[in-house]
Amino acid sequence: MNNQINDNILSLISKTPDTLLLGIAGRVKERRLEKDLTQKALATKAGISFGSYRRFESSGEISLRSLVMIAFALDMADEFDAFFSIRTYQSMDDLLKADKNKQRKRGSRNE
Domain ranges of the chain: 16-100
CA distance 83 to 37: 25
Please count the other Cβ atoms lying within 10 Å of the Cβ belonging to residue 46. 20
What size, in residues, is the chain?
A: 111
What predicted TM-score, i.e. pTM, was given to this entire model?
0.67
d(CA 15, CA 12): 8
Per-residue pLDDT tens listing for the chain (111 residues): 555 655 555 555 668 889 999 999 999 999 999 999 999 999 999 999 999 999 999 999 999 999 999 999 999 998 877 777 777 777 777 767 766 666 555 666 665
- For domain 16-100, give the CATH superfamily: lambda repressor-like DNA-binding domains (1.10.260.40)
Q: What is the DSSP secondary structure assignment for residue 105, as one 8-state letter?
A: S
Q: Tell me what pLDDT residue 99 has.
A: 63
Helix (H) or strand (E) holding 12: helix 2-13
